[in-house]
Amino acid sequence: MSEKGIANKLLLLPSSLVIGAFVIVPCALVLLASLASISDSEGWVFALDLSNFARFFSWFYIERALFSIGLCMMVVVISLLLAYPFAYFLSGFSAKVKNIWLIYILAQLTLSEVLIAFSWQILLSRKSGLSNILVSLGLFDKPFAMTPSATGVLLGLVYLVIPFMILLLYPAFSRMDKSLVEAARTLGASPLRSFFTVVVPTTKSAIISSSVTVFVLTLGAVIVPQVLGAPKHWTLSVLIMDQAVFNSNVPFASALAVVLLLLSGGVIGTIFFLGKGKTA
Amino acid sequence: MTGLVISGITKKFGNFTAVNNIDLHFNKGEMICFLGPSGCGKTTLLRMIAGLEEPTNGSISFDDSDLTRVPVHERSIGMVFQSFALFPHLSVGENISYALKIRGYSRSDCEDRARVLLDKVHLPGIEDRRISQLSGGQRQRVAIARALALDPKIFLLDEPMSALDANLREAMQIELRQLQQELGITTVVVTHDQTEAMTMADQIVVMGNARVLQTGAPTDIYKNPANKEVASFLGTSNLLPAKVTSDTTVETAGHSFGVASIGGFSKGDEVLLMSRPEDVTVSVDEQETADNWVSGTVTFIRDIGAIIEILVDCGGHEVISVITPKDCPDVSVGKTVSVQIPKSACHVLAN
């Protein structure tokens, strides 16, 4: 190997060590823990014990898993439908206006999930929430609580991820040749037509990677589902936390985490596989 | 009026006037070049013909039908953009037949049309290639084919050669002109390259500072530029400050020159004496008795192979003479020479 080759390989060392130490090792530990079981006398007992996984295969947990994935996919679709047109128009603004918007959206990211969860709890409450506005508009007779509910969780999660979705989609629009749309117009496409036949296909890979990123982000949210939803609306991540922290059953929590990892890996893999094809 | 009529067109972006009250008329089937430096308004004018910009004032019509308020996608135009703007997610054939596809033509119609057009631009058989696999020259031809898919009435090109290599440019200029003549389509090309304009155009519109400086056939404008901006932009020109001395003569660098036409100037006016390098003769003999001559010192000789440029300093002003190698006099830098400009080649322009 040439000198330069060795130097290049050495440069990979720091990041490899970090990824190794802080990603691979914890994952391996979780996997190990999932194979353990809890005994009353000795605490953890390490063995190749698949009883934790067997426990997963009860309808309760399977239903939670399906609910989590379904909910997160809905969050992805809704935030995509809202963020995509917005990012498109944003890329067309003048530099000054664009920067103001980008700073505003970036500022949203400073809001912690806890803050968002509790703010929405107030917004959706009976006494001081949105329903009071609806009553004053004459649409309802009495104010009502919109939380805890699946809708509440959905709203909270969408609100949480929209800034991410916008910022993930934005570079693709920014990079896109603006004259592509003009070319489509000169060829006879109406503004709407040129949007769907040119803009959307050109940004296809960005749509896919942004959706996957947001999906993973949403799946890992623990505060919003717990605060805005009743236990039946809790996602798998909440259950993992619940098991690990409140039930002190780390092995079972680890098993649930492994299942979650496999499921999300499956979903991501499927999305990428389906999205493959003639991309730009 | 038939043909393309541009009437009182103005375009303002806030306080900035990009196009200032322009009137133009072109016959159908002509190839027109908008020529000028960056920022002169030529691209804005082209975009208004396309419908991509709305004029602040004025109207545009083609064949007696007013286009001014017609949206882009309803005009019968084909446009080639500077970046070509080929759709990256579609193949070459799909790009070309895009206009047909969105109008609901059948797949076989689309494929047939793509094939015909690719033959026309001399790129047969590449329907299934991806855009990323094409060279710059190929992309340009595909962009041209795509624009012509539905036989548009007006063909617009925005600096079509700027993304090509220099050697490819000249070949493409000729090819584009031949294609245009074959199809007989009214074409407008925007360019800052005067060789391009002179190669391709039936009519050149020289623009500067949001206005039209001069319109005419290439050789007419070249031989009779209206002012010093046009003279400098189209070809090399020698501009010597001079003073009008009579109805037929001016004086410059201490010598009297007879001119082709004094124009609207009167005795005593400060003007510019303009001549083209190919009309200027440099000789080592003294020319005391000849008319229209001035003496100077050779400052530089540029031998570019096919031609030789001789730069002479005449009384503080540079005069360039262009000559073929076989007719070149025996001159060297620093030598005193006589520079002769015949009366027919002397033009008077405003200073």
Longest dimension (CA), chain B: 79
* Torsion from C-alpha of B33, B34, B37, B42, nearest 10 degrees: -150
- Both tokens of A214, joined, read 């947001």
Judge contact between B117 and B145, C-beta under 8 A: yes
Region of A103 please: left (phi>0), alpha (psi -120 to 50) or beta.
alpha
Look up the ipTM and state it: 0.84
For residue A148, cis peptide bond before it (omega within 30 degrees of 0) = yes
Going from the N-terminus, what domains does chain A have, and what CATH number goes with each? Answer: 59-275 (1.10.3720.10)
Smallest Cβ–Cβ distance between B102 and the set A182, A193, A204 belongs to: A193
Q: What is the dihedral sign for C-alpha B103, B107, B108, B112?
A: positive
CA distance B51 to chain A (A): 8
Test mutation, B76, B80, B82, B87, chain A, max A CBs within 10 A: B87
* A177 contacts B102? CB cut-off 8 A: no
- Same topology between domain B4-228 and domain B242-350: no
Within chain B, which residues score under 70 in pLDDT?
Answer: 1, 287-290
Query: What pairing do the DSSP bridges indicate for beta strands B77-80 and B154-158?
Result: parallel
B147 closest CA partner among B127, B124, B175, B117: B117
Q: How wide is the angle at C-alpha A52 spanned by C-alphas A46 and A58, nearest 5°?
A: 170
Position B289 scores a pLDDT of 59
Pick the CATH number of B242-350 from 3.30.310.40, 1.10.287.3510, 2.40.50.100, 1.10.300.10: 2.40.50.100
Number of helices (H) and strands (E) in chain A: give both, helices first.
Answer: 15, 2
Instruction: Say yes or no to pLDDT of A36 above 80.
Output: no
Query: What pairing do the DSSP bridges indicate for beta strands B281-283 and B249-252?
Result: unpaired
The pLDDT-based confidence of A85 (bands split at 50, 70, 90) is very high
The percentage of residues in chain A with a pLDDT greater than 70, rounded to a whole number, is 94
- Both tokens of B95, joined, read 């790009």
- Ordered DSSP codes for B104-116: T--HHHHHHHHHH
A contacts of B105 (beta carbons < 8 Å): none
Instruction: Say yes or no to pLDDT of A178 above 60.
Output: yes
Position A64 scores a pLDDT of 87
Position A39 scores a pLDDT of 62
Test mutation, A186, A190, A192, chain B, max B CBs within 10 A: A186
More confident residue, B253 or A150: A150
Please name the residue ranges forming H helices in B34-165.
42-50, 92-96, 98-101, 107-120, 136-147
The pLDDT-based confidence of A280 (bands split at 50, 70, 90) is very low
Position A259 scores a pLDDT of 86
Please name the residue ranges forming H helices in A21-136.
25-34, 51-56, 59-91, 95-108, 113-123, 130-136
Domain boundaries, chain B: 4-228, 242-350
Position A45 scores a pLDDT of 67
Residues sharing a CB contact under 8 Å with residue B215, sequence separation 6 or more, in sequence order: B24, B203, B204, B205, B206
Smallest Cβ–Cβ distance between B52 and the set A182, A189, A190 belongs to: A182
The residue type found at B159 is E
Position B290 scores a pLDDT of 64
**Which phi and psi (to 5°) does residue A147 adopt?**
-140, 150
Residue count of chain B: 351
B interface with A, Cβ–Cβ below 8 Å: 50-52, 72-75, 77-79, 81-83, 85-91, 98-99, 102-103, 130, 146-147, 149-150, 156
B66 has which bridge partners? B61
The pLDDT-based confidence of A279 (bands split at 50, 70, 90) is very low
Mean pLDDT of A133-153: 83
* A188 contacts B102? CB cut-off 8 A: yes
Residues sharing a CB contact under 8 Å with residue B259, sequence separation 6 or more, in sequence order: B248, B249, B250, B273, B343, B346, B347, B348
What is the fold of B4-228?
Answer: Rossmann fold (3.40.50)
Judge contact between B73 and A166, C-beta under 8 A: no
Strand order across the beta sheet in which B347-350 lies: B255-258, B249-252, B238-244, B270-275, B347-350
Instruction: Say yes or no to pLDDT of A1 above 60.
Output: no
Position B78 scores a pLDDT of 95
Smallest Cβ–Cβ distance between A202 and the set B74, B75, B88 belongs to: B88
CA atoms of A49 and A70, how far apart (whole Å): 30
* B81 contacts A188? CB cut-off 8 A: no
Judge contact between B277 and B321, C-beta under 8 A: yes
Residue carrying structure tokens 């130097």: A7
Q: Residue B287 carries which DSSP code?
A: -
B321 has which bridge partners? B310
* A280 contacts B89? CB cut-off 8 A: yes
Q: Residue B267 carries which DSSP code?
A: T
* B98 contacts A279? CB cut-off 8 A: no
Position A278 scores a pLDDT of 43
Smallest Cβ–Cβ distance between B89 and the set A185, A186, A278 belongs to: A278
The percentage of residues in chain A with a pLDDT greater than 90, rounded to a whole number, is 40
Residue count of chain A: 280
Mean pLDDT of A157-166: 94
Instruction: Say yes or no to pLDDT of A20 above 50.
Output: yes
Smallest Cβ–Cβ distance between B85 and the set A177, A190, A191 belongs to: A177
